[in-house]
A and B are shown apart, each in its own frame.
Chain A
Amino acid sequence: MTSSPLFQIEHLNAGYGESIVLSDVSLDVQQGEIVSLLGPNGAGKTTTMMAITGLLSAYGGTIRLDGHPITDKPAHKRVDLGVALSPEGRQVFPELNVEENLLLGSFASKARASRPRNLTRIYDLFPRLAERKKQLAGLMSGGEQQMLAIGRALMSEPRLLLLDEPSLGLSPLITELVYDTIPVIAAEGISILLVEQNTEAALAVSNRAYVLSHGRIVAAGKAEDLRDSAVLRDAFFGGALSGAAQ
């Protein structure tokens, strides 16, 4: 880790109105690395994603891409700079078809030029989408919508791909299908920050992970070291379990 990381968050504070959700969150992702951000419901994972994309403005701290701060850039400019999110709950455009959803992914001017190449690339990555080009996104299964949300994010040629709960509501089989593509994407040099409640699936594909609890980073380390760690269990089951154990 000699070079400066592709993506870095330093001392981020963020929240909604008067309630502060994230306090002093710092993390980084190297080029081509898969990093998970784990934690139970309400830990602040999605809030972190919203702050990175700019849909939520930070109260304090700095978000850097390639060393340049992007904290003050509006959401639509951050896409052009190379940050794309596949949001929690997929958020596909239900009354547009698969291809239109993907085309919207490359709305940002920089990605428009290489649109045909990226379409081919995504149809190769998710053959299921290629079979359903003209299908309205709202009528597809959860797994297909998840593939579409990831494909749509990739259409903008991101350098940092954010995946928010890609396994949410999917069967184990479909989750595996979606997760199989994550290392393939990273192998192209795209950095991935993965937010999950499904820690097992996330750690299996990640290089490193951070554990978020009550808006703070409580642990960080290599994925294999965190897998059976007490700190991860504590973050999920809180004081109840560790209290009972004592």
Chain B
Amino acid sequence: MILQLLIDSALLGGLYALLALGLVLSFGVTNILNFAHGEAIMLGAYGAFWAFTLWGIDPLLSIPIMLVVGFGAGFVCFRYVIERSLDAPHLNQILLTFGIGLILQNAAVLAWTGDLRSANPSYSMAAINLAEVFIPVGRLLTFTVAAALAAILYMWLTRTEYGRASRAIAQNERAAKLMGIDTRFVYSLVFAISIAVAAATGAALSSITTITPFIGFHLLVKAFAIMVLGGAGSISGAVLGGVLLGLLETTVAYYVPEGSGWAEGVAFVALFLFLLIRPQGLIGTRVHG
């Protein structure tokens, strides 16, 4: 029972970590909180769903495609729209990204209606049974993708010129400019990467959950909770927060009567408690102005 709980928590937590990673990356570097992040996930999920339904492309194969499409869309969106609000008050930035989210959400309703959708590849119902432990194949694959993407992101941040430059900007933007870093270009680049990760997360979700145009905001709130849990702006915090939320939700679903309904509320309770008791998160120290 405990082993099953831990496995389920890890599988869910890996996905949650991925959910928050993109958001944390763009917030940490550009200092703009992207309220349309959930919609990017939603569109990635629809992209994978239609690729599967129309052309029979496996949702997992859609992940690299969604990474590329998300990167391009994110880059253009930042360079031509969001960049204008870089020096604006936070409220303006929030209204702008929130507005973009609303437009995308309603465009999705117009294009594809509000029906519940789900891509169902052959393995989506399959499971591996090891002794007493039960591992759903779909979730295992999603977890693997999440772990791989998180690892690639980490390598990029620590081993490459632009990854290092992104961390420098997050820590001291003016000093980064003094290094000869074109900060505006790096902002666009990082935002593009965060949208690429979001779209890929959506593609990974498409085979294990139902999709509607409205899932974005719900996912965004969870990503916020994870960000606050781990500490805003910290990549390792996002991973830790994701795993923690996965564990909390799964535990509630297991041990509380009618738990699977209550599990959905865990993120809100955690968000509330952390903001009250430990607003800097588990390992966060830096505060953005």
Contacts and interface: CB of A to CB of B under 8 A. Distances in A.
A91 B175 contact: yes
A8 B172 CA distance: 29
Contact of A87 (B178, B183, B286): B178
Contacts of A103: 164
Size category of the B interface is 10 to 19
B161 A107 contact: yes
A156 B164 CA distance: 16
A92 B177 CA distance: 12
A59 interface: no
A74 B185 CA distance: 13
Contact of A85 (B161, B164, B176, B178): B178
A156 B180 contact: yes
Given A91-B172, A91-B174, A152 B167 contact: no
Nearest to A105: B179
B126 to A, nearest CB: 43
B181 to A, nearest CB: 6
Nearest to B178: A85
B180 A79 contact: yes
Most chain A CB inside 10 Å of its own CB: which residue of B165, B167, B178, B183 = B178
Interface string B135-175: 00000000000000000000000000100110110011011
Contact of B181 (A55, A76, A91, A94): A76
Contacts of A55: 174, 177-178
B178 A75 contact: yes
B31 to A, nearest CB: 16
Main secondary structure of the interface of B (DSSP, over half): helix
Contact of B175 (A76, A78, A87, A95): A87
A231 interface: no
B180 A95 contact: no
Interface string A79-116: 11000110100011111100010011101100010000
Contacts of B171: 93-96
Contacts of B183: 76
A53 interface: yes
Nearest to A103: B164
A105 B181 CA distance: 10
Contacts of B165: 104, 107
B164 A96 contact: yes
**A96, A107, A152 — which one has the most chain B CB atoms within 10 A of its CB?**
A107
Contact of A84 (B174, B176, B178, B286): B178
B178 A93 contact: no
Nearest to A153: B178
Contacts of B167: 93, 95-96
B286 to A, nearest CB: 8
A156 B174 contact: no
B143 to A, nearest CB: 29
B32 to A, nearest CB: 20
Contacts of B172: 91, 93-94
B164 A100 contact: yes
A165 B176 CA distance: 19
A77 B174 CA distance: 14
B188 to A, nearest CB: 14
Contact of B178 (A53, A95, A112): A53
B177 A104 contact: no
A96 B172 CA distance: 11
A103 B181 CA distance: 12
A80 to B, nearest CB: 6
A33 to B, nearest CB: 22
Closest 5 CB pairs of A and B: A79-B180, A108-B180, A91-B175, A76-B182, A75-B177
25 contacts: A53-B178, A55-B174, A75-B177, A75-B178, A76-B180, A76-B181, A79-B179, A80-B180, A85-B178, A87-B175, A91-B172, A93-B168, A93-B175, A94-B171, A95-B171, A96-B164, A96-B167, A96-B168, A96-B171, A104-B164, A104-B165, A104-B168, A105-B179, A108-B180, A156-B179
